[in-house]
Amino acid sequence: MKHGASPMNVDLAAARRYIAGGVDSPVRAGRPVGQPSPFIVSARGSHVTDVAGRTYVDFLCAYGPIILGHGNAIIAQAVAAAARDGAVVGTTHPEEVRLAERICRRFGSMERVRFVSTGTEACMSAIRLARGFTRKEKFIRFSGCYHGHSDEMIFAAGASSLSTAAIECGVTAATAADVFVLPYNDVAALESALRRHGSAVAAAIVEPVCANMGLCLPLPGYLEAVRALTRAHGALLIFDEVITGFRLGADGAQGEFAVRPDLTCLGKALGGGLPIAAFGGRADIMDALAPQGQVFAGGTFSGNPVCVAAAHAFLDQLEADAGFFARLDRQAKRLASGLAEAIEKAGFALPVVQCASMVDFMFRTRPPHRNYSEASQAEASAYARYYRGMLERGILLPPSQMELMFLTAEHDDADIDAASRAARDVMAALAAEPRKRAGHG
C-alpha cells in the first residue's frame, strides 16, 4: 500500500499523516483515557470489531445515534434504494414532507420543522431563528450542556469540548459576550440573569436531560421553572433533544416531563445512523425563516432523500414496536444494577444514574452530580484505568467520563451481564490498587 496505512494496520500515527490529529472529532483520540478509541472496521447489532479483529460489546454506540443496533437491515435496504433513485436532488421531495409531518405528529410542540444534517446545525439555526424572531441578541446556555461546535456554543460546554484546554481559541470575544452561561439545575441563577438581562435575551437553550457531563438529570421542578421564567421574560425556550428526542419515549424529554418548549432540536437517532437532524417548533416562530420570513437557514444536503429514507425506516420500526422503550428501559436497569453491584462490592460509593437507554456513573462519591462543576470533580485517572480494563475485557466504553453508556435494542442479557462481570473484575482491581482509593472520601 502506497503510504503504509493499509486499512488493516492503520493506527493513530498513520491516520495523522493525512487527517489532522488523526481524527475527525478530537474526543476519538482518547486523551482522557490515555489511548485512542479502537479503529473499528465493522459493526453489527450490539458489537463492533476493530482492525486487529477484536470484537467488543459496544456501549459507545457512536455517541448516541445507534439505538436499533448496528447494521440494521431495514435501514440499510432503505438507504440503498434511495441512493439508487438519486442521493441528493436539490429540490423538495415528497418523502421529506412526509417525514416532517411524522415528526410534527410525534412532537406536539413542533408545528413546523426544518431538516439539516447535524445537531450542530440544528442548534445553531434555532438560536439564529430565536434572535430573528424576538429581535433580541443575547442568549442563555447552561454549562456542561453540549450543543455542537458552532462558535457561540462551544465554550463551557461539556463532552468533547474538553478535548482542548483552550476551547475559546478561534472564538471572538464579541461572540462570547453574547452568551450567558449559567449553571444547570440552578433556578436562582436563571432568575437573576433574566431579571438583569431579560430584555436582551432571545432564548435559553438547554438539554432537558443532560447527557454531556455524564448523565445529569433535571431536579424536580427545574424544567418547569425554566419554562415559566423564559416565558415571563419574553425569551424563547429551546430544548436540545438531539440525544433525548428518540431515547426518552414517544416524544422525548418534553413528553416525559410535560414541559412544552418553543423550539426543539433533534438529531442523532433520528437518522438510524445517517446524518439527519431537525429543528422545529411553534408555527409563528418557524415562519420567521426565509423565504416566508427573514431568517436564513439552508444546506445542500438538508433533507436529502437518502437520510430521509433512513429516518423513515427508523421511525417505521420504532412505531411498529409498542414495547420498544419499555424493553430498553428494562435492559438499562439491568445494566445499572449490575454496575452498582460491582461498584458496591469493590467498596466504592459511586452513584449509578440511569435514564431510559442511558446509563452512567462517575468517579465521584454520592449523591449524583447536579451540574458541571460537580461533574468536573470526578477523578479522571480512575476512569482512564477503568476504561482500559473494560476494553481489555471486550467492553467498549466512551473515552471520556463526561460521555455515557448507550444501549440499543440489540443489547441482550448476555451483553449486559458481560459488562457487569467485567466491571466487577475491573472495580476489584481498582480497589486493590495501593493508592488513594478512587471514589472514596
Ligand X SMILES: Cc1ncc(COP(=O)(O)O)c(C=O)c1O
Contact positions vs ligand X (CB under 6 A): 63, 118-120, 123, 146-148, 207, 212, 240, 242-243, 267
Task: Identify the active-site residue in 56, 146, 184, 386.
Answer: 146
| E-only strand ranges, 132-211 | 138-142, 179-182, 201-206
Q: How far is the CB of 148 from ligand X (least distance, A)?
A: 4
Candidates 340, 357, 59, 370; CA nearest to 213 is 370
Name residue 115's beta-bridge partners.
278
Give whichever of 147 and 334 is closer to ligand X, judged by the CB atom: 147
Q: How far is the CB of 160 from ligand X (least distance, A)?
A: 7
- Phi first, then psi: give them for residue 314, nearest 5 degrees: -65, -50
Give whichever of 146 and 387 is closer to ligand X, judged by the CB atom: 146
Q: How far is the CB of 268 from ligand X (least distance, A)?
A: 7
Task: Identify the active-site residue in 186, 240, 329, 415.
Answer: 240
Name residue 206's beta-bridge partners.
239
* Number of CB atoms found within 10 A of residue 87's CB: 14
**How far is the C-alpha of 63 from the C-alpha of 276, rounded, in Å?**
15
Candidates 56, 21, 23, 51; CA nearest to 39 is 51
- Whose cell is 427545574? That residue is 222
Strand order in the sheet with 47-50: 40-44, 47-50, 55-58, 395-396
Give whichever of 123 and 216 is closer to ligand X, judged by the CB atom: 123
Q: How far is the CB of 344 from ligand X (least distance, A)?
A: 30
Name residue 58's beta-bridge partners.
396
Collapsing DSSP to helix, strand or coil, 354 comes out as strand
Give whichever of 99 and 402 is closer to ligand X, judged by the CB atom: 402
**How far is the C-alpha of 95 from the C-alpha of 97, rounded, in Å?**
5
Contact 103, 314 (CB under 8 A): no
262 belongs to the catalytic site:
no
**How far is the C-alpha of 438 from the C-alpha of 12, rounded, in Å?**
30
Extract the C-alpha cell encoding 360. 452512567
Give whichever of 279 and 361 is closer to ligand X, judged by the CB atom: 279
User: Which residues, 6 or more positions from 18, have their beta carbon under 8 angstroms from its beta carbon?
Assistant: 3, 5
- Whose cell is 460546554? That residue is 157
DSSP structural state of residue 301: T
Q: How far is the CB of 26 from ligand X (least distance, A)?
A: 12
321 belongs to the catalytic site:
no
333 belongs to the catalytic site:
no
Task: Identify the active-site residue in 138, 186, 262, 268.
Answer: 268
**How far is the C-alpha of 20 from the C-alpha of 200, rounded, in Å?**
39
Nearest residue to ligand X, scored by beta-carbon proximity:
119
Q: How far is the CB of 351 from ligand X (least distance, A)?
A: 22
Q: How far is the CB of 242 from ligand X (least distance, A)?
A: 3
Give whichever of 121 and 379 is closer to ligand X, judged by the CB atom: 121
Candidates 364, 370, 360; CA nearest to 340 is 360
Give whichever of 243 and 310 is closer to ligand X, judged by the CB atom: 243
Establish whether the linkage from the previous residue to 291 is cis, with ω within 30° of 0: yes
Q: How far is the CB of 14 from ligand X (least distance, A)?
A: 25
Extract the C-alpha cell encoding 55. 470484537
Candidates 184, 279, 194; CA nearest to 230 is 194
Give whichever of 275 and 305 is closer to ligand X, judged by the CB atom: 275
Q: What positions carry a catalytic annotation?
A: 146, 240, 268
